[in-house]
Amino acid sequence: MEKLQYISQGQTITQQKNNILKALDAGAKWVQIRWKQSDEKDLYKLAEQIKRACTAFDAICIINDNPALAKAVDADGVHLGLDDCGILEARNLLGAEKIIGGTANTMTDVKRRIAENCDYIGLGPFMYTATKQKLSPLLGISGYETVMQQINREGMPSVPIFAIGGISTIEDIQQLLQTGVYGVALSGVVTQTPNIISTIHKLLS
Encode pLDDT of 156-204 as tens digits: 999 999 999 999 999 999 999 999 999 999 999 999 999 999 999 999 9
Superfamily for domain range 4-204: Aldolase class I (3.20.20.70)
pLDDT surpasses 90 at 40:
yes
Is residue 165 within 8 A of residue 127, CB to CB? The reply is yes
**Where in the chain does DSSP place strands (E)?**
4-7, 30-33, 60-64, 77-80, 99-104, 120-123, 161-164, 183-186
Q: How many residues does the chain have?
A: 205
What CA–CA distance (Å, rounded) separates 123 from 27?
A: 24
pLDDT bracket for residue 128 (50, 70, 90): confident
The closest of 148, 150, 147 to 137, measured between CA atoms, is: 147
Amino acid identity for residue 91 in this structure: R
pLDDT bracket for residue 58 (50, 70, 90): very high
The whole-chain average pLDDT of the chain stands at 95
- pLDDT at position 14, please? 98
Q: Are strands 120-123 and 99-104 parallel, antiparallel or unpaired?
A: parallel
Contacts of 9 (CB under 8 A, 6+ apart): 15, 16, 19, 34, 131, 187, 188, 191
Residue 138: how many CB atoms within 10 A of its CB? 15
> DSSP assignment, residue 137?
P
What CA–CA distance (Å, rounded) separates 116 from 150?
A: 18
